[in-house]
Structure formats: structure tokens, C-alpha cells
């Protein structure tokens, strides 16, 4: 369970404190002087509940981007989960979900941007339980829970903080959550269809990609690459689709990790 020491994760840990299988994972980003105090707080909290505590360290500095800090944190969490044969639990709640959708909309998201925080290897119980920040603060007060305050939550240089401020008086959160649930169901339906049509031998006919509309072909490519633990940016997916449609037989296309895919006359194999 990923525990930062903030109110969200402290509440989540308290909810699961009697579960003997829970262990605590804390990542010290090394971005501010109080980071060490957060680490000590989480270690003491884990000890109080009798939980094993695993701490990761970095020295990212105060000017690190939110994305780089997040990537470092999840790299640590996934490494820890693999070593401990565990699942990753995070304390994201419905306000986090709405903020992320709003940010994605500002950035001109496609439909996948309406279904954020939906990674297959991460469990987010607070979203499933429909907890928002207000409910969590009430929970913390009712259970007399102490927690750490992250001073960067009040800084305007982070886009998320600016969006959070704008959403404080937003009245249509329920509608956004309904949109999210609707899109999530559609995503699951799409994934099920793709799973059914994916060849067991991983041999893919070029004609299918030539005949399908580009959006569908791109989504199918994303799906089959995901099954190979490969992730491509949208431009790279478009390059791959173009290669499937136009490459001469026996020419190869580069995938991440120096992996080559040979494009045969009528098919390719992953």
C-alpha cells in the first residue's frame, strides 16, 4: 500500500489496518526539506499498526516536474510489488479522478483521457468506495488521525493545484463521475472485443489494418502491444500503422527495447 503520510493515504491505511497482508511502501522523492520528516512519520505509523514498511529514496530536487516525480514513484512501487509478490494499492479518491479528467480535457484528450487512473496493476479502493476529499477529512476527524501536510499542494506552479482550486466550487462532479463510469464500461467492452479477435498465434494480417479505419486500427495496435508489455506514444503507434500498411515485404520496424518486427508480404508476427 502506497503511503505518503497525507490525509488520503493515512485514512486508507487505517481502513485496512487489521488486514495482516498489508505492507506499507513509502517513496521519499527528495524534493523538499520536510521529505525526511514524512518518511519518519510513515515508518512510525507502519510500526504502530504492525506493518512492514519499505522505503524508496531519490534526490529529485525542488524543481522536478510532477510527471518525473510520479514516474519515479511508480517505478519504485512496481519494483516493490514484484519483489513482495503484492498488489499496489493507492489512495486516489474521486476528486483526484475528476481533477485528472479536467487536466486531460485541457490538454485535448482522446476518449482514453476520460478513463484515467485505471491501470490494470493498481487498486484504488477509495474511488470504488466513492470517497472524495471532504469525506476523507471527516473520516480522519472521526478517527482522530494525524497526517502530514504537503506544502506543494498550495503552490501555483503545478497545473493540478490550479485545476483543484478552480474545481472547488464546481457543482457537476456527479455528472463527471457518471461520464467516467460510462466511458470505463465502453473501454471494457472494447478490450473484450479485441481480446476475442486477437489471434492466439500472434500472427496479424496486414489487410485487416489496411481496411480498418485508422482510429480502430490504432486502438487494436495499442491492445496487442500491451499484451507484449510494450507501450508506444500516439505518434509512434501511427508510424507503426503506416509501416504495416506500406512497408515492402521483409522490411522491419523498430519497437522499444531494440525489438524488431518483420513485416512480411501479407502478415506480421509479434
pLDDT at 117: 77
Q: Phi-psi category of 61—alpha, beta or left, where left has phi over 0 and alpha has psi -120 to 50?
A: left
Separation between Cα atoms, residue 138 and residue 106, nearest integer Å: 31
| Range with the poorest average pLDDT among 161-165, 187-191, 204-208 | 161-165
**Over pLDDT 70: what percentage of the chain?**
91
Beta-carbon contacts of 222 under 8 Å, excluding residues fewer than 6 positions away, are 232, 237
The x, y and z cell numbers of residue 237, run together, are 503507434
146-184 pLDDT per residue, tens? 999 866 555 555 676 777 776 666 667 777 788 788 888
CB 225 within 8 A of CB 218: no
The CA-atom distances, in angstroms, between 150 and each of 6, 35, 38 are 7, 9, 9
pLDDT at 189: 87
Beta-carbon contacts of 6 under 8 Å, excluding residues fewer than 6 positions away, are 91, 147, 148, 149, 150
Q: How confident is the model at residue 67 (pLDDT cuts 50, 70, 90)?
A: confident
52-64 pLDDT per residue, tens? 999 999 999 888 8
Q: How confident is the model at residue 232 (pLDDT cuts 50, 70, 90)?
A: confident
DSSP state of 202: -
pLDDT at 157: 54
Q: Is the pTM of this model over 0.75?
A: no
Q: How confident is the model at residue 215 (pLDDT cuts 50, 70, 90)?
A: confident
Separation between Cα atoms, residue 198 and residue 192, nearest integer Å: 10
> 208: how many CB neighbours lie within 10 A of its CB?
14
| Coil vs helix vs strand at 53 | strand
Separation between Cα atoms, residue 3 and residue 26, nearest integer Å: 5
Write the secondary structure of 95-132 as one string of H (helix), E (strand) and C (coil).
HHHHHHHHHHHHCCCCHHHHCCCCCCCEECHHHHCCCC
Long-range contacts of 262-269 (CB under 8 A, 24+ apart): 263/206, 265/206, 266/205, 266/206, 266/207, 267/203, 267/204, 267/205, 267/206, 268/203, 268/204, 268/206, 268/244, 269/201, 269/202, 269/203, 269/204
pLDDT at 65: 85
Q: How confident is the model at residue 203 (pLDDT cuts 50, 70, 90)?
A: very high
Amino acid at each position: 500500500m502506497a503511503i505518503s503520510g497525507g490525509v488520503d493515504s493515512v485514512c486508507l491505511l487505517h481502513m485496512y489496518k487489521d488486514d495482516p497482508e498489508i505492507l506499507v511502501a513509502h517513496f521519499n522523492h527528495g524534493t523538499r526539506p520536510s521529505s525526511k520528516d514524512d518518511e519518519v512519520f510513515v515508518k512510525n505509523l507502519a510500526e504502530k499498526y504492525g506493518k512492514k514498511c519499505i522505503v524508496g529514496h531519490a534526490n529529485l530536487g525542488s524543481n522536478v516536474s510532477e510527471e518525473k516525480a510520479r514516474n519515479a514513484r511508480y517505478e519504485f512501487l512496481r519494483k516493490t510489488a514484484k519483489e513482495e509478490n503484492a498488489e499496489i494499492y493507492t489512495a486516489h479518491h474521486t476528486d483526484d479522478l475528476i481533477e485528472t479528467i479536467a487536466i486531460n480535457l485541457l490538454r485535448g484528450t482522446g476518449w482514453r483521457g476520460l478513463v484515467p487512473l485505471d491501470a490494470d496493476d493498481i487498486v484504488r479502493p477509495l474511488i470504488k468506495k466513492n470517497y472524495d476529499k471532504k469525506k476523507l477529512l471527516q473520516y480522519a476527524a472521526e478517527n482522530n488521525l494525524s497526517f502530514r501536510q504537503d506544502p506543494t499542494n498550495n503552490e501555483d506552479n503545478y497545473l493540478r493545484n490550479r485545476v483543484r482550486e478552480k474545481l472547488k466550487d464546481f457543482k457537476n462532479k456527479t455528472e463527471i463521475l457518471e461520464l467516467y463510469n460510462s466511458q470505463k464500461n465502453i473501454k471494457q467492452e472494447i478490450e473484450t472485443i479485441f481480446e476475442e479477435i486477437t489471434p492466439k498465434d500472434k500472427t496479424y494480417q496486414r489487410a485487416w489494418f489496411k481496411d480498418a479505419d485508422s482510429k480502430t486500427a490504432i486502438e487494436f495496435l495499442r491492445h496487442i502491444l500491451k499484451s507484449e508489455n510494450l507501450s508506444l506514444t500516439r505518434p509512434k503507434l501511427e508510424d507503426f500503422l503506416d509501416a504495416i500498411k506500406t512497408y515492402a515485404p521483409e522490411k522491419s520496424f523498430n519497437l522499444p527495447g531494440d525489438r524488431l518486427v518483420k513485416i512480411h508480404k501479407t502478415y506480421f508476427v509479434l
